[in-house]
Amino acid sequence: MNMSAKQKEFLQKEKRNKIFVHLMQVLIVVIFLISWEVLANKKVLNPFIFSSPSRIVLTIKKLFLEGSLINHILTTLYEIVLAFFIGIASGFLIAILLYEVKTLAKILDPFLTMLNSLPKVALGPIIIIWFGANTKAIIVMALLINLIVSIVNIYNGFLGTDDIKIKLLQSFGASKWQILRYLVIPGSKRTIVTSLKLNISMTLIGVIMGEFLVSKKGIGYLIIYGTQVFNLNVVMAGIVILIILSFLLYEFVSLLEKKLLKDC
């Protein structure tokens, strides 16, 4: 393809701008880490309270060599995956029910709004009493957070279905199930897939919150344990692992999104 000089110049400028943005992002992180390390070593920041990048790395290495780190990560990951899939599947099914039974949707509307705006952590003590101090309680806590968001998102996606297309299928004599199968669900594919991204973030919040309350294992537990024994290196190590974990999960769901929306 022949490209004009102006077009070439524009593309080069765009590329330079992109590289600059990435460089600046890396630079901010590097400056932040170096400043933190130097200030902690010079005792400007109390390393006992603020820890430092090198201490965090050493703590992660120690936890890894002890064998407990992998166990904590796998526990959190297991809870996230379980709560994520239960949340998405239940959210999808409940959204279908609300779409099909419009009166039910109207009845439940204020309750969904209330549940959505309620700070779920307030329900923590009740969840522990009802479900015990175990994985079940953590999953329930995560579901309380991710389920309502999934329902509302997917349901709103369904409501956006083109009326003209519904009329068309009705003119073919389509049943409610056929309208769902051939139009509403495939037509809401983008919304459903996009809600996966939101769901993974919500699940992560719910699982860590659950681990704060009841767990004996997991990254949330590691952070709470570090706070209780006042070992800020462990707390910071937990947070760093959590940041890496959430980044990897988000990237995984983004990849999944790209793959699923390839035809859209």
264 binds another protein (CB under 8 A): yes
Which residue, 93 or 261, has its beta carbon nearer to another protein?
261
Instruction: Find the shortest distance in angstroms from Cβ 158 to another protein.
Output: 16
263 binds another protein (CB under 8 A): yes
260 binds another protein (CB under 8 A): no
CB 117 within 8 A of CB 144: no
259 binds another protein (CB under 8 A): no
177 binds another protein (CB under 8 A): no
197 binds another protein (CB under 8 A): no
Two tokens at 90?
A: 């239940």
- Give whole-number Cα distances, 200 to 72, 94, 246, 261, in Å: 19, 18, 8, 18
**189-214 and 232-260 are packed helices; what angle lies between their axes, rounded to 10 degrees?**
160
CA distance 124 to 130: 10
Q: Where are the beta strands (DSSP E) in the chain?
A: none
Task: Please select the residue that binds another protein; options are 6, 167, 259, 262, rule is CB under 8 A.
Answer: 167
Site string for another protein, 111-150 (x = CB under 8 A): ----------------------------------------
Which residue, 41 or 170, has its beta carbon nearer to another protein?
170
CA distance 140 to 195: 19
Which residue, 81 or 174, has its beta carbon nearer to another protein?
174
Q: 172, exposed or middle or buried, with CB in 10 Å at 0-12, 13-18, 19+?
A: exposed
Site string for another protein, 216-245 (x = CB under 8 A): ------------------------------
CA distance 235 to 223: 4
Binding stretches for another protein (CB under 8 A) = 162, 164-165, 167-174, 178, 182-183, 186-187, 189, 263-264
